[in-house]
Amino acid sequence: MWIVIVAILIVAIIGISTYAVLSARVPTKVGIELWYNNDGHYGDTETALALTLQNSIQSCGRVTVSLKSDPWAVYKQNWANQRMPMFLLGWYPDYFDSDDYASPFLSIAGAKSLGSFYNNSQVDQWITEEQSTTDPNIRTDRFTKIQNALADDVPYIPLFSGVAQTAYVNSVQNVELHPVVFKWFIVDKPGATVLNVSTSDKVISLDPASAYDFFSGEIINQVFDTLVVYDWKNATLKPGLAQDIPTRANGLVSADGMNYTYHLKAGVTFHDFPLNTPLTAQIVANSINRAIRLDLPGSAAFLLYDVGALGRDATNGNNSSPGAIEVVNSSTITFHLARPVSFFNDLMAFSVSAPVPDSYNQAGEQPSTAGSVIGTGPYKMTTHTPNQLIVLDRAFGTKASNTYYNKDLYSPTLGPIPIMDRIVINIRASAAALKQDIETKAVDVVFRTLSPPDLVDLQNRASSLGITVKLGSSPQIRYLVFNVNKVPNKLVRQAIAFSVDRSAISQIVFLGTASPLYSMIPAEMPYSTAVFQSKYGDARCADANNLLAQVPATIELIALARDR
Amino acid sequence: MARGSSLLAYALTRAILALPMLFILLTAVFVVLRILPGDPILALWGGRTPPPDAVERARVQLGLDQPPIVQYFTYLRNIFTGNLGISIGEQYRGTPVWSQIATRFPATVELAIGGMLVASLVGIPLGVVAGANRDRWVDLGVRLYGTVIWVIPIFWLGLILQLVFGVWLRWLPANGRWTGVDTPCAPPSTCRFQTGMYTVDSLIEGNLGHFATAVSHLLLPSLTLGLVLSGFFAKTVRANMLRTIGADFTEAARARGVPRRAIIYRHAFKNALVPVVTVLGLQFAILFAGAVLTEKTFSYQGLGILLLESITSKDMTMIQGVVVFYAAIIVLISLAIDILGASIDPRIRL
């Protein structure tokens, strides 16, 4: 009898205890890894950025963030291999259209390649629609919907946009922080013929078919020309090798937006002296087909065959789709796209579209050595000591008798380009070296990138040093990526969006030199809506914790187990 | 004749003993590079999905499709036939590893020689003075200097020197190997031959202005590297000086009335130098390692920066090539020092 009573009591105690434990609302923590690059791909501030983010997320009390890092070569593979649940990335646009801040992240293919694996067919449809039209009303509607979906699903959290910066001695003029590409050929130092500059960037490749990094693109844009080019101050397109910018109004874009025609300017030659190969429509077609055919690792060829809808067809020798590029005559070329691409002109302004002579290596990458880099641009590269020195010299004529075909591109605002006879670019191994260079006036201009403390210090001492420190908005954005397969619970992603503190990032990491970002489309671009500001704001811990309280315990435990 | 044969036998023995060392090192490099995270082929495409057949094609081209043991023997064969391969990193892709090493090595040699000169010119006299003045204030000062300078992080010392001599005083250039475009022996000037070392090339060219420029760029990196090493030199020379000053032969000299100055510099110092020569050779390894940080601090484009760049871009063939090259150089220097030591002091051969 007693045994039965004791057994009943034991069972009752166990049952009551279990109920008490299960029903108690003891807040459990969600554990998540935050990954960042540790070898300076995004500068020296990355560790501080990761620590600040970790602190702002953890300070809300219900999420534990463990930091992990890898060098860039491994980091790049980690997101493709789905190793990282939450990680830091940055983006520099390829073409100056709001689409370049939407489709690479939110289209199904783009999201896969950038590691979020976000998959929303409705968003994909909206992206296709905004890409296919120039109608501002339709584009406004689609971009609004896309950004609302972004804020609701949170595959990314926009953090901040960078600040473009340069410092130069006061005698230098026309140093413009262009939103797309820096133009050395407009910089002037009155009374001098040589401009000495330094940078901490490095050349990866000077073959337009291969280059897909900022500095390589910067050099390519001094040595090569494209069919259309950018204005010297903003992203307005101007005729480059082409006589006109194709539009529907001038009849060079078909009514369905699928055919673009360019008439080449006369008398354009490559600086492959003494051959002086003339530029023809056939060479333009060959160059674009070469980039598509080679599809070199890490190159921007996909901007032509995929984003630009020119196709890549094995039956056509891996060139563009049959009939996609039509050489009408020696000075006219027409592109027939597989679908309308409203920003095709912008793609033709990107370095991957720069014509190269037929003498370029057709089976692989052209060497980036002096003499092998041949374009039609205002400068030719006469010296290239890798990671040490690049020398650009005037390619056509002299300052007095300038024979560059596009010398009056920016006249009358600016004089004939290029302005300086020679640009000597010293490549430094660290940001600290740039500060020393400009402090000692060992160079005339430093561009880029100064560290935030050095930048602030130079700003404070600019007048005593006799230098100008110029800041401008940068099209680069920085953001957090969630691999939605690894962090599938939207509530967890939204809670982290609530807890991020952008002002802490700006003040602590960048000493106030970064601007908060509340959409993947920066505020300077058309169609941008600050969706994360209205929906999540900054450091709203109470809202974050309310969301996390709704996360089922089983999901939290799964997240914890997986992250451990 | 017997003496010569004995030295030759010693040299041969050392050379044969160096081979297993080199072999172990080559194996370690091979294994480490293959177990490091990250795929060197996929790294070239970044996060993008490469074309279906491209990865496989690249693997076959580089022999990475072969079993590890086959790769290992191919690697050894290539190394011993002087084929260091073609770079696969994003920066030097397609260029022969050997050509990059040949371009960068002269800068590192110049820096290593400069560093060794500074270390010797500062460290050895300090060690002698300290040894000759045991437990006096000058000895305490040198000992303190030796310890402090040896533990100072090399990049920190570099930054301080840059700040003082480059930025504040503006006596010396703070960065780079050269100012301007007209490097020594560059066209239109002509040289009978070119070494890639700017100081030497400017002398070959007979251009003293260029020589001054080259030296001015070399001074701060050499001081950084050399000063750190000078602490070790000072302490080693001091210890050996104390040993030789207390040795029987110096006692005998003292008993014969030889002046103290002559005892120290003619007898004690000379004998104290023998172990220093051996240590000096071993320091080349430290010198090359230190050169990596010094080159990075001073934007001095040598082999060290090439190695750093290769590691960050996962350029497997370049890392392999540079490490093997470094190893071979250090083994050769060690061998040369062993033989030099043996020729100076016959007891080593016994």
Average pLDDT value over all residues in chain B: 86
**β-bridge pairing A467-482 and A156-169:** antiparallel
Task: Give the closest of B95, B301, B311 to A387, CB-based.
Answer: B301
What HEC string does A247-305 produce?
Answer: CCCCCCECCCCCEEEEEECCCCECCCCCCCCECCHHHHHHHHHHHHHHCCCCCCCHHHH
Euclidean distance between the first and final Cα of chain B, in Å? 16
DSSP string, B336-350: HHHHHHHHH-GGGG-
**Measured between alpha carbons, how far is residue B53 from residues A299, A300, B56, B60 in Å?**
16, 18, 5, 11
CA of A109 vs chain B CAs: smallest distance (Å): 10
Span of A292-301, A344-353, B97-106, B337-346 with lowest mean pLDDT: B337-346
Q: Look at strands A389-394 and A379-385 and give their pairing.
A: antiparallel
Which pLDDT does position A564 carry in this prediction? 34
Which chain A residue lies closest to B100 (C-alpha atoms)? Answer: A386
**Nearest residue in chain A measured CA to CA from B170:** A440
pLDDT value of residue B334: 81
pLDDT band at B348 (very low <50, low <70, confident <90, very high): low
Coil, strand or helix at A124: helix
Residue B350: pLDDT over 70: no
Identify residue B133 by its one-letter amino acid code: N
Q: Who's near B19: CB < 8 A, 6+ residues apart?
A: none
The structure tokens listed for A352 are: 């991957």
Beta-bridge partners for A229: A238
Token pair recorded at residue B319: 């890392």
- Indicate whether this complex's ipTM tops 0.85: no
A511: how many CB neighbours lie within 10 A of its CB?
16
Confidence of residue B190 (pLDDT cuts 50, 70, 90): confident
CB A225 within 8 A of CB A376: yes
What is the pLDDT at residue B1?
A: 42
Per-residue pLDDT, A563: 39
Which 8-47 residues of chain B touch chain A by CB within 8 A?
37-40, 42-47
Backbone angles phi and psi of A89, in degrees to 5: -140, 170
> For the residues of B33-46, what is the DSSP string, one character each?
HHHSSS-HHHHTTT
Distance CA A362, CA A290 (A): 7
CB–CB of B87/B318 below 8 Å? yes
The pLDDT value recorded for residue A562 is 42
Q: Cβ separation of B173 and A442 shorter than 8 Å?
A: yes
How far apart, in whole angstroms, are the C-alpha atoms of residue A261 and residue A281?
Answer: 11
Give dist(CA B167, CA B163) in Å, integer. 5
Say how many CB pairs under 8 Å bridge A and B: 122
- Token pair, residue A40, equals 């300076």
The H or E element containing residue A112 is helix A108-113
By Cβ distance, the residue of A298, A387, A424 closest to B45 is A298
DSSP class of residue A316 equals G
Residues of A in contact with B170 (CB under 8 A): 440
Task: Tell whether the torsion through CA atoms of B245, B249, B253 and B256 is positive or negative.
Answer: positive
- Is B299–A113 a contact, with Cβ atoms under 8 angstroms apart? no
Which residue among B167, B175, B312 sits closest to A428, beta carbon to beta carbon?
A: B175
- For residue B235, what are its two tokens? 């302490």
**Predicted local distance difference test score (pLDDT) of residue B289:** 73
Chain A residues touching residue B162 (CB < 8 angstroms): 432, 436
Could you give the C-alpha distances from B36 to A177, B40, B292, in angstroms and in order?
Answer: 40, 10, 21
Dihedral sign, Cα of residue B291, residue B294, residue B298, residue B299: positive
Query: Rounded to whole angstroms, how far apart are CA atoms B206 and B195?
Result: 14
| Mean pLDDT across B171-178 | 91
Flag the least confident range among A328-337, A548-557, B195-204, B313-322.
A548-557
B319 — contact with chain A (CB < 8 Å)? no
Residue pair A180/A93 in contact by the 8 Å Cβ criterion: yes
Which residues of chain A fall short of a pLDDT of 70? Answer: 1-4, 6, 12-13, 15-28, 553-564
- Is A392 within 8 Å of A382 (Cβ atoms)? yes
List Cβ<8 Å contacts ≥24 apart for A247-251. Answer: A248/A134
CB atoms B166 and A114 under 8 Å = no
Q: Which helix (H) or strand (E) holds A412?
A: none
Task: Give pLDDT, residue A17.
Answer: 61
Distance CA A409, CA A416 (A): 8
Give percent helix, percent strand, percent coil of chain A, each to the nearest 5.
35, 20, 45
Q: Do B313 and A73 touch (CB under 8 A)?
A: yes
Across the interface, of B46, B170, B298, the residue whose CB is closest to A76 is B46
What's the pLDDT score for residue A561?
A: 41
pLDDT of residue B222: 96
Handedness of CA A70, A74, A77, A82 (dihedral sign): negative
Q: Which two tokens stand for residue A215?
A: 């500095």
Cβ atoms of A380 and A140 within 8 Å: the answer is no
Query: What's the whole-number mean pLDDT along residues B321-326?
Result: 90
pLDDT value of position A560:
43
* pLDDT of B181: 79
Give me the pLDDT at residue B341, please. 75
Share of chain B above pLDDT 70, in %: 94
